[in-house]
């Protein structure tokens, strides 16, 4: 029930306009969002790099409906690539296609992505294409199929374990030699499209993860679920899979203890570092994934606030 509420809230623009003016809400968001500008994201990335953790910078924003906004988002990603390179950051960028104009025109989105990919190639930098709701899955994979032959391992895509189609999609992508990031999925989807029970989603995740560990091209296992991490670690050990052949991924501000623990055990760890003014929908989806984060966030804000006095 609470998950559905947060997913609904993530789509309410009026509430976003009210919340983003609230100091307490902005403070709570800072746990999971590395500020609203590229410079703060770069500093957060630098701190993570110092701990041996690589990053992927993620400019927040999606569902753009005006071409000028899509082009402005493209330019901000181009600037982020420059700042990563200039700052000597060990990291890359991730991009949502609806932010680049996918809902406006496929050709516009492809043109914007080609501009990003060409610029990233000048810096030998990887670009991850994020996956959004199931309404965008097919077009996202189509656009990736347009870019991958031209840019190869400099681009990759995301697959969500809660979608019923994902096993088939992963087989197609493995055949293409694509770099895949596997996550559970964070959008509200009908039962006809997605598994609804956590046990089903987890079982799908483990099955797909093992397939990627056996046959994938440097797969990224994106999860904070300790049981899934334990099972994949056991699989890696049992099969003798080299640790340098894959990486775990987590989100900024989530399970920082586990991030560091995995890194200290020799696993590659990458943290997604979201930034930008459109932090509200992102924050609501993080809360939908784990409603218990509400109490954690409020407690952290109160503790940090009163510790100054």
Cα 189 to Cα 137: distance, rounded to the nearest angstrom:
12
Q: What is the number of other CB atoms lying within 10 angstroms of the CB of residue 96?
A: 22
What kind and span of H or E run contains 56?
strand 54-59
CA angle 113/122/159 to nearest 5° reads 40
For residue 27, CA distances in Å to 16, 31, 104, 141 come to 15, 7, 34, 36
Q: Is 250 exposed, middle or buried (0-12, 13-18, 19+ CB in 10 A)?
A: buried
Q: Return the sign of the alpha-carbon dihedral for residues 14, 29, 101, 144.
A: negative
The DSSP H or E segment spanning 272 is strand 269-275
Tokens 């709570």 correspond to 28
DSSP-derived letter for residue 197 is: S
Which is catalytic among the residues 31, 128, 179, 181? 181
DSSP designation for 194: B
DSSP single-letter state for residue 99: G
Annotated active-site residue 181? The verdict is: yes
Beta bridge partners of 35: none
Q: Which two tokens stand for residue 244?
A: 């340098």
Residue 6 in contact with residue 288, Cβ under 8 Å? yes
**Out of 58, 74, 103, 130, which one is annotated catalytic?**
130
130 catalytically annotated: yes
Helices 198-215 & 226-239 angle (0-180, nearest 10): 30
Give the Cα separation of 55 and 299 in Å (integer): 27
Q: Which residues are catalytic?
A: 130, 181
């Amino acid at each position: 029930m609470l998950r559905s509420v947060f997913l609904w809230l993530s789509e309410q623009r009026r509430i976003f306009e009210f919340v983003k003016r609230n100091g307490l809400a902005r403070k709570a968001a800072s746990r999971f969002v590395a500020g609203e500008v590229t410079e703060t994201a770069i500093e957060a990335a630098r701190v993570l790099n110092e701990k041996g953790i690589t990053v992927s910078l993620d400019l927040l924003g999606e569902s753009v409906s005006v071409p000028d906004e899509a082009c402005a988002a493209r330019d901000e990603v181009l600037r982020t690539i420059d700042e990563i390179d200039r700052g000597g950051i060990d990291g890359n960028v991730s991009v949502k296609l609806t932010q680049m104009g996918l809902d406006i025109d496929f050709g516009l989105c492809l043109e914007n992505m080609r501009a990003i990919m060409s610029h990233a190639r000048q810096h030998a930098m990887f670009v991850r294409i994020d996956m959004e709701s199931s309404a965008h899955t097919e077009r996202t994979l189509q656009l990736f199929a347009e870019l991958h032959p031209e840019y190869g391992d400099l681009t990759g895509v995301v697959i969500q374990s809660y979608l019923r189609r994902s096993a088939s999609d992963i087989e197609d992508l493995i055949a293409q030699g694509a770099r895949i990031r596997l996550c559970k999925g964070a959008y509200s989807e009908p039962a006809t499209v997605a598994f609804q029970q956590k046990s089903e989603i987890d079982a799908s995740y483990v099955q797909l993860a093992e397939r990627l560990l056996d046959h994938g091209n440097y797969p990224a296992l994106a999860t904070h679920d300790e049981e899934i991490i334990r099972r994949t670690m056991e699989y890696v050990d049992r099969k003798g899979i080299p640790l340098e052949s894959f990486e775990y991924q987590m989100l900024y501000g989530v399970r920082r203890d586990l991030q560091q623990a995995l890194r200290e055990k020799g696993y590659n760890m990458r943290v997604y570092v979201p930034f930008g003014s459109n932090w509200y929908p992102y924050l609501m989806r993080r809360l939908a994934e784990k409603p218990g984060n509400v109490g954690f966030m409020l407690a952290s804000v109160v503790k940090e606030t009163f510790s100054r006095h």
